[in-house]
Each structure stands twice: as C-alpha cells, then as structure tokens.
Amino acid sequence: MSITEDAPQRERTKAPQGERIADWADGRLGIYQWRTLMRKVFPEHWSFMFGEIALYSFIILILTGLYLTMFFNPSMAHTVYEGPHVPLQGVQMSEAYASTLRISFEVRGGLFIRQLHHWAALTMIAATMAHTLRHFLTGSFRKPRELNWLIGVVLLVLVTLEGFLGYSLPDDLLSGTGLRIAEGVTLAIPLVGTYLTMFLFGGEFPATDVIPRFYSLHILLLPGIMLALVTVHLILVVYQKHTQFRGPARTEKNVVGQPLMPHYAAKAGGFFFLVSGVLSLMAGIAQINAVWVYGPYRPDQISQGSQPDWYMGFLEGALRAFPAWEFAVAGYTVNMGVLVPAVVLPTLLIGIACLWPFIEAWITGDKREHHLLDRPREQPTRTAFVCSLAAFYLVLFFGGANDILAERFHLSMNAITWAVRIGVFVVPALTYVITKRICIGLQLRDRDKLLHGRETGRIKRLPHGEFIEVHERLERGQEYMLLSREVPQPLPAPLREDRDGVPNPHSRKDLLRHKLSRWLTDGQLANPTPQEMQQALDHLDPASSNGHTPKAGPPAPVEGRDPDPQQLH
C-alpha cells in the first residue's frame, strides 16, 4: 500500500502568483531573454564616471524642467509687476520675466528647483566636455566606435545650445544682452543671416516671438533629439562592448569588470543619488542667475561686467579679441569681425572633433577594431594636440572676462585684449611642446621602473660603505600593463616609381600620409627587449633566474581573485 498522496489536479498545476506574472510579462516582453543583458559586464575606472555624471544631470534636468514648465509663461507681452519683490514693483516687464520672478519668490520650492535646474545644466555641459576629452585622449573613438563618437560630439553641441536657450528664457537684462549678441552673430552670416534672424526673432530685435520660439526649442525639439541620441549612444555602448584599459586578463575580445545586475546597477544607483545630493546642496546654498538683480531687458541698457554662462565664455572671448574687420561685396557688407570668431571658429573646432577618427585612421592605415584604451602618455602627439586645443579654448575663455580682470586686478583692458590676441597663438604652441615632453618623460619613467624596479624608500649600506636605495620589481599586473603596450610605427616612405620605372600616381598622397604618420607617432619609446627585461629581472629578483620560485609570485589576478568566466564577455 503506497503512503504517497497525490495532490488534486487544480493545486498541482497552479503556479505561484509571482511566477504567473513573470510568465505573462515574458509572453509579451521576452524578459526571460534579458539574462544576457543582466550579466553584461562593465569595467571600472574613475574616468568612466564623467559620462554617468552627464547622464544623471540630464535626468535631473528633465525632472526639474517638467516642474518649471507648470509655472513659466513664455510670453513677451507687457505687464506691470506687482509681486512681493519690492524693488521691482510697478516696473514694466514681459510676462516671461514676471513668471520667472513668480517662480523665484512665490511658488513653493520654485527658487530651489530653478537653481537646481541651472546647476544641473552647467554640470552636464562640464561632464560632457570632460567625457569627450577622455575619449579623445584614450583613443576610444577608433573602429568600431566612430559613429558613437560623432553622436557624442553632436550631443555636446546640442547640450551647449540647449543651455544657451534656457539661459535666454527669463528675458532679464543679462540674458537679453546675450540674445542681442546672438542676433548680431546671426546677421553676420552671409546670404541667409537676415532670413535666419527673422525666423528666430519674428521681426526686428527684440521683436515679440523670440522667447516663445526659444521655449519650444528648449522644451520640445532639442530635448527630444538629445534623448534619442543618448538612447542610441547607450545601445551602441552595450552592443559594441565597453572599452577598458590594459591589464591582466583583458584582451581585445573580452571585458573584465562587474555585471550589470546586481553589482553595477547598485553602484550606479548610489552614484545617481550622490550626484543628485551634491547638485541639490549646490542649489540650496549657492545662488545662481539671480535675475531680480539685473531687472527686465531693455534694448537701451546693459550692465557693466555682464558675463554669459561659462560654456559660452570662449565665444565671448573670441568676439572681444578679434579686431574689427569688414568689407563690402556687391554692395553687401561682410562683417568678418563677427563672422570669423563666432561662426567660422566654432565650426572649425567642431569639424576637427568630428573628423579626427577618420583622419587618424587614414594617416595610420589602421583598420583593426580597438577595445583596449591608450594611456595619454603613450600617444604624445595626440595628447599634446588635444591639450593645445584645450589651451586655445581657455585663452579665449579668459578673454571673455577682460573687463572683469581689468577691474579686479587694476589692469588695462586693452593690454589684456592684446595679451589674448597674442596668447591664442603662443599658449597653444607652448602647451603642445610642453605636453609632448611630459608624455615622453612619463614613458621614460615607466621604462625605468621596468628595468630598475620601483623605489621603496629603504636605504641600504653596502660593505664598502656606499648607501643605495633598495628597488623592487613592479607588481606583476602593472608590469604586464606596461609591457603589453603596442608601439605604433610610421608608414614606410613611398616609392616615386616602381621597379619598371612607372611613376606612382599616388606618390603625393602617400608622401603626405608618410609625413603625417611620422608626426603622429613621434615620441614613441620602444618597449624593453626580452634580453633587457631578463637582465633587469636577474638583478631585481635573482631567484627567478636560477629555478627557484620568484618572490613576487604569479601574475596578479583580476580584482584580487581569479577572473570569473561569467565576467568575461
């Protein structure tokens, strides 16, 4: 007789409620297929956080922007202020400016949200710039990430433009001054300048449509494009694998790090709240864009010492430093004093950034995929070039504050302007030379560590009385990272004729590529040869050359443990 009791058919076939919900979701969303995504591996490095800061700031901008849209009135219709801010009572102003004052003084939490929105915008632009520089310096723009690099550059331009539009919406005296400059820049564009001005402003400046039109662009068009590009950017990061720096167990075909769930998601969530907390702290204690100080915009007024937000400082400096220069063509005036610094220069910088991956690939002839990053010191020319561009930007940035610098330091504003004009040529050149020498010096330091070991700080006295510092062999992971560096070589010199004396039709192009490749690979130091390394190890670790176990042990494992096969993707 069996003692096993069969459960009723109804109880045996009914799944738990949680499982039934999961099955329902899987039938419609295929969530059971997300396991691979949940185990997606992300490497760890402090420089990767710039992109996360930009993303989290973007999320905060969307949330705070939704709150502000409930109270902001994007109208240039005239009204008389009768709010609680006494100095402006009875002053005629636009509805946009009045609603900004209402948000700041009457809406509960309005001033905090306004300042949080502004600080998040500044932080996002700064983080996006740092993120772009990180990609530029480490070479992560190479194949297969050229498209993602272009998306990043476009996002940087859109973020900057979005910040300018949002900065202009309050219609205060400071933002109105910026709009006046934007109108002058637009008018300076040949042929289409007047049409673009009418399209943006709806008539002669200041017209009545600029704030409503900027408002539509600010809350609808540009955020929608940015959201779409950010989504594509993240999808490509997942599809193409995340880049990583060289190290043990890291190759061009895997990624070593933490899986998305639960490790990376928990850390990323905590970092999001940390960024939100810091921005909230800044919004609560650091006042920014106090529009009530400047008053409403009037075309016949301007404040001394007016400055735009920092990301527009280089454009302001270029406009102030460039000399007055205009001429007439067929009866039409071409204002080069505005066109060159405000249109040609930014377009040139954006063009260099967009085309650099393709220029470098053409110079080197490298068609391989690259998933391991360069350290900036390992590419002296590229690093020096990027730093010279940053120096050029900073010179113009300080040039945009020439009146503030003259007032604070009791200097001549004309002298500062001439210093900026000279500095845009001298400072980037000096920065290029100095940065390249620093990179070569750091390469020599790494080579010295490989051949002579690291300094321990311990002093030893030899039998004959000499004092020397004891050196030890590098940790194996660091040693592997330094030795695994790939040293690029310049292209060979082209032949003007082949063996039969037929001229090479591409000799000029090949010669140009040869010279550019020599420039790009200049300053590269070769890795120590195996013989040099063996001699160095014999000196640092004699036991390793006589059959005994080396003192330092086997190569260091990843993350202090053997690499998990599930974490190699």
List the helix and strand counts (H, then E) for the chain: 22, 10
Q: Which residue, 69, 114, 125, 63, is CA-closest to 283?
A: 114
Query: What is the structure's pLDDT at 40?
Result: 82
What are the start-end ranges of the H helices in 139-221?
146-168, 173-187, 193-201, 210-216
State both tokens at 403. 């009146």
Structure pTM?
Answer: 0.87
Q: Which residue, 423, 445, 425, 424, is CA-closest to 378?
A: 445
Which domains occur in the chain, in start order?
A: 54-321 (1.20.810.10), 375-494+507-541 (no CATH)
The pLDDT profile of the chain, 569 residues, written as one tens digit per residue, is 445 555 555 555 677 877 788 788 777 777 777 777 777 888 988 999 999 999 999 999 999 999 999 999 999 999 999 999 999 999 999 999 999 999 999 999 999 999 999 999 999 999 999 999 999 999 999 999 999 999 999 999 999 999 999 999 999 998 888 898 899 999 999 888 889 898 888 888 877 889 999 999 999 999 999 999 999 999 999 888 889 999 888 888 888 888 888 888 899 999 999 999 999 999 999 999 999 998 998 888 877 677 888 999 999 999 999 998 888 888 888 889 999 999 999 999 999 999 999 999 999 988 899 999 999 999 999 999 999 999 999 999 999 999 899 999 999 999 999 999 999 999 999 999 999 999 999 999 999 998 888 888 888 888 888 888 888 888 888 888 888 888 888 888 887 777 767 777 777 888 899 999 999 998 888 888 888 888 888 877 655 444 333 444 444 334 334 444 334 34
> The dihedral of CA 331, 337, 342, 347: what is its sign?
positive
Secondary structure letter of residue 336 according to DSSP: H
Residues 6 or more apart from 196 whose CB is under 8 A from it? 186, 189
Length of the chain: 569
Exposure string for 119-142, b = 16+ CB within 10 A, e = fewer:
bbbbbbbbbbbbbbbbbbbbbbbb
Q: Which residue, 386, 483, 496, is CA-closest to 443?
A: 483
Residues 6 or more apart from 108 whose CB is under 8 A from it? none
Residue 117 CA: distances (Å) to CA of 58, 108, 141, 233, 545: 10, 15, 31, 23, 63
Query: What is the structure's pLDDT at 11?
Result: 53
Secondary structure letter of residue 517 according to DSSP: H
CA distance 554 to 191: 70
Q: Is 184 exposed, middle or buried (0-12, 13-18, 19+ CB in 10 A)?
A: middle
Contact criterion met (CB below 8 Å) for 202 and 210: yes
